[in-house]
Amino acid sequence: MSGPAYRKVTRTYFAPLFAAFFAVMLAGSFAAFAAAPLDPAPRAQAPSVLAALRQGGYVIYFRHTATDFSQNDDRMTGFEDCERQRNLTDAGRADARAIGGAIRSLGIPIGEVLASPFCRTRETADLIFGRATVSVAVRGGPAADGGRYDELRALLTQPVTGKVNLVISSHGNPFTAVAGTPYLQEGEAAIVEPLGNSAFRVVTRIKKDEWTALK
């Protein structure tokens, strides 16, 4: 069979099949749409880290910047004996200056700056902020706590007043002892929110080259 007669038979035969096929597809599309969850209403975004720091009230805990690991503190006769301690490298000093420049350009208000008595932590604070108050409350030591870091823990939990941020320039071990892992890298900072009642929250950690990316 060919010609008009063939086309008529073809339309008569296949038309109901096409109609049924499209009906099934349309029904499936409506079913899928009905089953799909609706997008939730947008949540109010929490303030950014930078916005929060500009309001003040946080503790910025720094581990000192890069040091020379061919040196150690074994033969030091006192905290002023910098020649017999592990000290900052030139790269560590450059990192500290860059961090300080970034913090100033971001408009982050800084209040008291406390530094561990070691030369590397005092120098880190001086290069970043231009000042430091030596405090045994933020001194270094072993990672095991045993009450050694009770004063540090108190500083992290007490509210910071005056719309500024408290800075601590210290070591990796004390922070790990009171806040847990991961261990801070050299030049890395932890942003801590004091909650009172012996509690605090680590908001985030900022590596030495991440300050300029804050928004």
CA distance 25 to 19: 10
Q: Which CATH superfamily is domain 49-213 in?
A: Phosphoglycerate mutase-like (3.40.50.1240)
Least confident span in 36-50, 123-137, 144-158, 172-186: 36-50
CA distance 199 to 139: 20
Q: Which residues contact 115 (CB under 8 A, 6 or more apart)?
A: 121, 122, 124, 125, 132, 133, 134, 135, 138, 168, 169, 170
Contact 147, 98 (CB under 8 A): no
Contact 67, 187 (CB under 8 A): no
Share of the chain above pLDDT 70, in %: 78
Contact 148, 115 (CB under 8 A): no
Tell me the average pLDDT across 92-111: 98
Identify the pLDDT of residue 203.
Answer: 97
Q: Is the pLDDT of residue 133 over 90?
A: yes
What predicted TM-score, i.e. pTM, was given to this entire model?
0.78
- Helix (H) and strand (E) counts in the chain: 6, 6
